[in-house]
Amino acid sequence: MQIDKQQIIDLLRQQGSHDQAAQAESELPQQVDPAEQSGLLERFGLNPQDLIGRFLGGGGLPKF
């Protein structure tokens, strides 16, 4: 499962995290695997599981 880096950068900008977006642009690979880059994504304040659900339609049961 991979997400295009630009989608993540756009999300950070939408959240008002322009500094983190710039940093992510220089540090993330072009295609981001949320499982493999989970630590890096968390540094940018992003939950890898949330990204999977948002961009990849990660199924599963909702958590309550």
Confidence of residue 61 (pLDDT cuts 50, 70, 90): very low
pLDDT for residue 62 is more than 60? no
pLDDT for residue 3 is more than 60? yes
pLDDT score for 55:
83
Summarize the confidence of residues 44-54 as an average pLDDT. 90
pTM comes to 0.80
Phi/psi of residue 47, nearest 5 degrees: -90, 120
- Give me the percent of the chain exceeding a pLDDT of 90: 72
Secondary structure (DSSP) of 1-64? --EEHHHHHHHHHHTT-HHHHHHHHHHS-SEE-TTTTHHHHHHTT--HHHHHHHHH---SPPP-
